[in-house]
Amino acid sequence: MHFSTYLRIENLAGGRMASDRSFIRALRSRLNENALKRSSRDIRREVIADMFKLRNDAIKLITNNRL
């Protein structure tokens, strides 16, 4: 996932500290109909995992800079 795509999803979800559910809903709203089908489930899960990795990295950057 491109970082710019992640930022758009983060904005839709309500910010970096939004709930996991909000992030997943925001991601699903950005997907087309074919990506929401059962046959694309594994790919969708990889994208969600990648999205949460980017989110965790962003949160770590903020918390490390505050110390």
Ranges of beta strands (E only) in the chain are none
Q: pLDDT tens across 21-62, in order?
A: 999 999 999 999 999 999 999 999 999 999 999 999 988 988
CA dist 42 → 22, 24, 25, 39, 48 (Å): 20, 15, 17, 8, 10
pTM of this structure: 0.84
What pLDDT is recorded for position 66?
67
Residue 67 has pLDDT above 60, yes or no: no
> Which residue did the predictor score with more confidence, 63 or 9?
9
Residue 65 has pLDDT above 80, yes or no: no
What pLDDT is recorded for position 35?
92
CA dist 63 → 15, 36, 60, 67 (Å): 15, 34, 5, 7
